[in-house]
Structure 1
Amino acid sequence: MKKMLLSLAITAALAGCGGGETLEDVKNDTPPVIPSATVKFDPANGVISVPNDLLMSGTKDGTINIPGELSVNGVSVPRSAYANPSLALGALDGWSSQVPYKVDLTFPANVSLDESSAGAPGAVRIFEVVMGASLTDADCAAVPAGAGCKLLGELTFGVDFITKASGNAVAIIPLKPFKAGSSYINVLTTELKDSLGRSIQPSSTYGLVKQEAPLVTESQLALQGVVNSYENVVTSGGTISKDEIIYSAAMTIQSVGPALGTIKAMLAASLENPALTTPMVQIPEQPMLTVEQVFASQGVTGLSPAFAGVLYQKGSVTLPMYLSQPKGKEIANLADTYWQAMCSSPVAVLNQQAADQALRKAGKEDEIDPTMFDVGPYEPLCQGLSDGKLHDYPKIDITRHLTKYNPIPKAQSPQEVPVQITKPILPVINAVRADLNMPALEMPVGGWPVVIMQHGITSKKEHMLALTASLAIQGFATVAIDHPVHGERGIDVDDDGTDDFNATKGEGSVLAYMNLQSLLVARDNLRQSAADLLALRLGLNFVKDTSLNSSDVMFIGHSLGSVVAPAFVAQANTPLDSQVDGLFKINSVALASGGGGIASFLLESASFGPFVQGSVLLSAGTSESAEFQTYREGPAVSNCGEAAPTNESISCGYGEYYTSLNAAGEATKLANIQGVMSQFSFAAQTVLDSGDPTNYASAIKALGTPVYMNVVVGDGEANGNKPDQVIPPMTVNNPIAGSLPLANLMGLTTVTQSQAPTEVGMSYLVKFTKGHHSSVLDPKPDQDAGSTAEGSAAATAEMQLQIATYLVTRGHALSIKKTEIVTD
């Protein structure tokens, strides 16, 4: 059509020419026509920017439809195939709430994007909407799925999001997370300009389908209906006209809480349903042992006398494992161990019913498989746990992805998990308190209040013993378990006594937990950690030890323990039933060195970043991947020592390779690598979202749970103590990733001085200029962080004091002694 109009325009121009001008004169006098810059959008040929709900059109189970999910004969790919980062998006019921994204544009030669217009208000507008087939809005329930239905409001530029030029694209960067389960329509407008000052134009496809006139083919008509529904919804508010719109695309944000919420409900139901196991913490009789003796057995001496006043015990609790067991010893064998729904997706059931009905109408009843609706062994549980809405049809929904439509996870096996318990030994602790001019303690009538502690990645529960002296001095008992695939919870595939998968440093690889080769496994390790804490919290109520008060429970998390804490605490404290709410309640929380936006902070982590980026590049399948592998096996060996695929070798090799490209001025290769990292970041964060603390931060704030958090921000380059080198306080490429954004989203107030008691619990953030990522546990300096012995020791003592005094007041007060090592 455009070619025809262009021909007519040229003909008209020639026809209007008179006098003695020749055709050659016209050619010489007519300025060249420069083609317009346009938005890239041609769904029929696979040209589409994501996030985009067009990829949910015709969904089989309520998840995103990713090309390649179905084989040529229509059979779903095996679960292990979802290890592919792009394909993993096909296991989700929506897009990321927080990852930056972009809309691609195309430009003619010598024309580019006007960067000032790309970063200005109005070029991109985002509207919150209700889409068709809504589960929550009766007005939109009957509107076709995928169509826009109702306008709820518009997001504010500079408050909710910003935009900027990103090569031949406009990048959209959230400043706040989008609401989980909500839908939005991204709109590009004529305010977006090219370098010649002209408005960017719609693609020919978009320009065609946004017309009101009916089109010809079925696919054109379908796309036309969807696009018109988008434009009709966003223009209904009267703040934008259709003439201003050059592109629109809906995105539905994935659900993040249903699976964990269902797990809590199942734990609560286990109190009455014998088909579900109730966790119970068991503490057998055992010889008396102190934490000081435990440390001495590990060669650690010179500790505070208070450690002699901390009783150390071992117990156990049986937890439901939703991760399945790998069938081999290679990292690839973990690929299909991620969580699986117990029931068939109701979307898949409806699709099967519709397909059978179509066969009946066509007179092909003989092609209907009568066994498709035979029920499986989980039918009673599916029915009982969903009020009759879900079924277990083994032949329907083979992949069983967990979604908002299908939120009941399948427990694969029970696992007996070791529990570490500590308690104050009063005579010794009271002697220490006397030296500190503190009054003597007595065990409360209901027993010692309990602090659940959770360790960091590559660590283990025993490392959290470093906090127990400070807590015992304040009259706390503690309990701790290992994260999945850490410490005593490593995976021994063949029962030969040696773990084949363990993420604890010195015992295995971090990839056993933060699995970059199967992001769904990484996501579900995070969710399993939170689920384990929920079960442990419930299990404390049934411990046969009157010295522990299971109705007065706090939480401390370090690093990964802080990362999984918001999901755990948000679920624990969200009201479910007045009869069981107290069995899960967490009174106050202390977090050390945590952060949100996991994919972003991992890529930018000074400690883990080179390893993550090197691992991603090695598996990317690009020419740079092969070159990097060759480089690691050759030039990098002289500086890195080896080419074996260890964490240290990959980190060092990647640094050497990247430096060599910079030195050689290989701009194209560097850009290609950056492109790989951007694609990985988008896919990884989208997949990890339902385990990411950023998506639970608003719930923590709304619940009013008192939270204390400390972060090492450093004291500036001139003084040498760097910010946290594992989880950065802020990230460059994502403004809502890192430690400080998470604290802000949870509603924490930055303080630099002691806080007097308040009537209600308060939430505080303390920024440390001294110390390092593990200072809350380890007073020794960290060379990579530039911390000194004096500064590190001071940070450890101050962090532990702040945590203990905050928890002892249940978040009503905070003591800050060394004000010289904190900052605002």
Structure 2
Amino acid sequence: MPIPTKTVRLAPLCLFLSLAAFASAQAATRPDFYAVFNPAAGQLPFPDNLLFAGSTDGALNIPVADPTNLADPKVAMNGLDGFSTVAPLTANFSATLNATTVKAGSTVRVFEVALTNPFLDPSNPFFAIASVTGELQAGTDYSANLLPQDSHQATLNIHPLLPLKPKTGYLVVLTDGIQDSAGYDALPSQTYALTKLTTPLIDANGNSVIPGLSNAQAQALEPIRRLTNNQEAAATSQGIAKSSIVLSWTFMTQSIDDAFVALGQNLKPLGIAVKPTGATTAALSYNLPGFSDIYAGALAIPYYLSKEQPLSGYWQTAAGGAVTRYQPLPAATATLQIPVLMTVPNAKSGHSKPTDGWPVVVFQHGITSNRTSLLALADALAFEGYAAIAIDLPLHGVTDPTNPFYLKGLERTFDLDLVNNQTGLPPADGVIDNSGSYFINLQSLLTSRDNVREGAEDLRQLVASLPLIDLNGDGQPDLNTHHIRFIGHSLGGIVGGTFLGIDDQVTSATLGMAGGGIAKLLDGSASFGPRIAAGLASAGIEKGTPDYENYLMAAQTVVDSGDPINYGPAAASLHPIYLIEVVGSDNSLPDQVIPNSVENAPLAGTEPLAKVLGLQSVSRSTWNSQGLRAIVRFTQGDHSSLLKPASLTTAAATAEMQGQMLSFFDSEGTVLDILYHPVVKQ
């Protein structure tokens, strides 16, 4: 990922030619084919720990034109304490590559390493390798290919196949077995060849000892030479010949859950109250039988985003700094009252309140929807004896002031009216903008990330507040909070996946049409991909170009700590989980909102999330006394089928999805009944 900065003159070509002896003695080489590496010109592989240079707070310090421009993805990345666990790694070459010579585990090697950390131990001024922990396995942990969007085919891509560990060092080594299209072996660049030297580039007085290399250049390269020697020593300890190395670099992955851990230490309910509306679900235009009484109210939450700047605010420390592993606690900007919708089984459901309270289901809606999506499931849940409760995701809510569930002054859309709702463009039209219009925010990636994190933290706050709910005013709690179920649909499943990774109160969970690897997931979505592409095109970033892929790589880097793909193992260890996926069939499309998978993005979509969660594929009724971790793939239905059928032809899929979910909840996640097999992939 090129980082523009001041360019300095390199050593003369004759010097480079003399250093080409680092290549294998018998190799066919040419001096104009090399692995690009020139820190002075901002030409680095990405990610690279050299981009911490000059940092004073442990966050990245990538050179940027305007550090206040939040629309610049580099500015957003400078709020992070490390690099992505998910996004691809890239290295550029000076000529077209022979793709067959880019071999993971052979010419491309990746190692987990223990790094000294200058922000934890100032006596070690660099991220140097202290030891090699182990080698990542090609085909299992990572793959390597050429960036398809690079028309020159000179960009090498390394894809994690499983999320990398957070707060962990990695070493990448590329060797001269990588060839160009004419069969020549790669060389190190002029600059990298200098850093391979085993003797200092400067004398005791700081003067250059390399002819043609100025004192300033030599002084700048000397620390990098020491790092390269450290890296290559680690590589040689793993059986790689030093003479074969054309490029090596290290990177530190960012922290993932540190902010949630810090917030969890002070988690406490701030208040919640609901009152009966006097309506049942039968009063709504959903053709529901009316098994549920509807309650409405408000939940008090600490708000870590900005009500005053909802499109640019993001989590910050009390001092206004970046929230990192070194300063992990975000500061609340306000205590908000946000709307709550609740449904409770009534006499028509055939249930009365158990002595230990109503078992409760927490529901989280999808993007552009709101808490009232719960009503589509309320009677199915009530028929099984469940109360249910829902809040809105950040920047979502009821937007029609005539809607009986609209709560003036509490809606988390903040009644924003910035565009014409018909065109989606300015100027404002006097009508509140649609729910969720600004959740995905290309103009502030940090805000996008923290919309997800805020949503997960709000769910944790809701769960912590459930014991306070008193429905009948007798001063006693009315919910059985020892048995809490969770449903997350679409974006609610994405946020819910993150929530489940930090929560230990939910006893079983259903994720409907969810996925991970958010940046490429959105790009690969038939519904959202064109909108993302259009938004970036308006900024001069065209789909199908390396710049577009670099933007998505940066976006994933920023959103990592909110992405459920990074919380999968924790979520699965804490909860039985049932995941619903619509894969389609010969006469039915797969999910058009959350893609099953995304080409050339092995950690984006529903399937990668299922893999990280360790889910078992199920097509027949099954049980596990220790709790199931299961995925059911539906051949019929669509993205919204968990809530309601789009047509009579998908009604069977909706009935089967809801029936499976209820069997899962009724058994506390130990049983999954599959009754109508024609809609389930066998």
TM-score category, normalised to shorter length: 0.7 to 0.9
Q: Which region of structure 1 is more displaced relative to structure 2, 113-122 or 690-699?
A: 113-122
User: Does 2:654 align with 1:796?
Assistant: yes
Aligned residue in 2 for 1:636 = none
Kindly indicate which of the two structures has a greater share of residues assigned to helix. Answer: 1
SS state of the match for residue 37, structure 1? strand
Aligned residue in 2 for 1:550 = 481
Cα–Cα, structure 1 residues 527 and 168, in superposed 2: closer, same or farther, change >3 Å? same
User: Does 2:220 align with 1:219?
Assistant: yes
Cα–Cα, structure 1 residues 420 and 116, in superposed 2: closer, same or farther, change >3 Å? same
Letter in 1 for 2:601: N
Cα–Cα, structure 1 residues 569 and 135, in superposed 2: closer, same or farther, change >3 Å? farther
Cα–Cα, structure 1 residues 287 and 128, in superposed 2: closer, same or farther, change >3 Å? closer
Aligned residue in 2 for 1:613 = 533
Q: Residue by residue, what CA displacement relative to the aligned partner does 1:126-164 show, whole Å, maximum 9, x if unpaired?
A: 01011112789xxx8854332222110000111111111
In 2, Cα distance between equivalents of 1:485 and 1:191: 51
Pairwise CA RMSD? 2.7
Aligned residue in 2 for 1:266 = 266
Q: Which of structures 1 and 2 has the bigger CA Rg?
A: 1
Question: Match for 2:341 among 420, 429, 435?
Answer: 420
Following superposition, the deviation at residue 326 of structure 1 comes to 3.2
Cα–Cα, structure 1 residues 556 and 244, in superposed 2: closer, same or farther, change >3 Å? same
Aligned residue in 2 for 1:177 = 163
Aligned residue in 1 for 2:434 = 508
Following superposition, the deviation at residue 572 of structure 1 comes to 1.3
Question: Match for 1:88 among 76, 79, 91?
Answer: 76
Q: Is the 8 A contact 2:413 2:435 kept in 1?
A: no
Aligned residue in 2 for 1:400 = 321
Cα–Cα, structure 1 residues 157 and 503, in superposed 2: closer, same or farther, change >3 Å? farther
Structure 1: segments with no counterpart, 5+ residues:
10-31, 72-76, 271-277, 328-332, 344-398, 431-440, 574-584, 625-669, 782-788
Aligned residue in 2 for 1:51 = 47
Q: Is the 8 A contact 2:397 2:412 kept in 1?
A: no
5 Å matches for 1:364-375? Answer: none
Letter in 1 for 2:302: P
Question: Match for 1:811 among 664, 669, 681?
Answer: 669
Cα–Cα, structure 1 residues 549 and 504, in superposed 2: closer, same or farther, change >3 Å? farther
Aligned residue in 1 for 2:206 = none
5 Å matches for 1:465-614? Answer: 465-488=375-398, 498-500=415-417, 507-508=433-434, 510-545=436-471, 546-573=477-504, 585-614=505-534
Letter in 2 for 1:526: V
In 2, Cα distance between equivalents of 1:493 and 1:415: 8
Question: Match for 2:172 among 172, 177, 186?
Answer: 186
Aligned residue in 1 for 2:270 = 279
Aligned residue in 1 for 2:126 = 145
5 Å matches for 1:632-643? Answer: none
In 2, Cα distance between equivalents of 1:7 and 1:313: 78
Q: Is the 8 A contact 1:503 1:513 kept in 2?
A: no
Cα–Cα, structure 1 residues 802 and 228, in superposed 2: closer, same or farther, change >3 Å? same
Following superposition, the deviation at residue 55 of structure 1 comes to 0.3
Q: Is the 8 A contact 1:458 1:503 kept in 2?
A: no
Cα–Cα, structure 1 residues 87 and 735, in superposed 2: closer, same or farther, change >3 Å? same
Letter in 2 for 1:765: I
Q: Is the 8 A contact 2:258 2:325 kept in 1?
A: yes
In 1, Cα distance between equivalents of 2:535 and 2:416: 22
Question: Match for 1:291 among 281, 293, 296?
Answer: 281
Q: Is the 8 A contact 1:200 1:246 kept in 2?
A: yes
Cα–Cα, structure 1 residues 497 and 106, in superposed 2: closer, same or farther, change >3 Å? closer
Following superposition, the deviation at residue 4 of structure 1 comes to 3.9
Cα–Cα, structure 1 residues 225 and 5, in superposed 2: closer, same or farther, change >3 Å? closer
In 2, Cα distance between equivalents of 1:282 and 1:514: 30
Letter in 1 for 2:83: W
User: Does 2:565 align with 1:694?
Assistant: yes
In 1, Cα distance between equivalents of 2:470 and 2:435: 37
Following superposition, the deviation at residue 59 of structure 1 comes to 0.9
User: Does 2:641 align with 1:775?
Assistant: yes
User: Does 2:616 align with 1:749?
Assistant: yes
Aligned residue in 2 for 1:154 = 135
Following superposition, the deviation at residue 769 of structure 1 comes to 0.4
Cα–Cα, structure 1 residues 416 and 740, in superposed 2: closer, same or farther, change >3 Å? same
Q: Is the 8 A contact 1:418 1:481 kept in 2?
A: yes
5 Å matches for 1:25-40? Answer: 34-40=30-36
Following superposition, the deviation at residue 119 of structure 1 comes to 3.8
Question: Match for 2:144 among 163, 174, 181?
Answer: 163
TM-score computed with the length of structure 2 as normaliser? 0.86
5 Å matches for 1:59-458? Answer: 59-68=55-64, 77-78=67-68, 81-107=69-95, 112-119=96-103, 121-133=105-117, 142-166=123-147, 167-216=153-202, 217-236=218-237, 238-267=238-267, 270=268, 278-284=269-275, 286=276, 288-293=278-283, 295-296=284-285, 300-301=286-287, 303=288, 305=289, 308-326=290-308, 334-335=311-312, 337-343=313-319, 400-425=321-346, 427-430=347-350, 441-458=351-368
Q: Is the 8 A contact 2:170 2:250 kept in 1?
A: yes
Following superposition, the deviation at residue 698 of structure 1 comes to 1.6
Q: Is the 8 A contact 1:117 1:123 kept in 2?
A: yes
In 2, Cα distance between equivalents of 1:679 and 1:263: 32
SS state of the match for residue 742, structure 1? helix
SS state of the match for residue 256, structure 2? coil
In 2, Cα distance between equivalents of 1:208 and 1:4: 13
Question: Match for 2:555 among 655, 659, 684?
Answer: 684
Q: Which region of structure 1 is more displaced relative to structure 2, 532-541 or 164-173?
A: 164-173
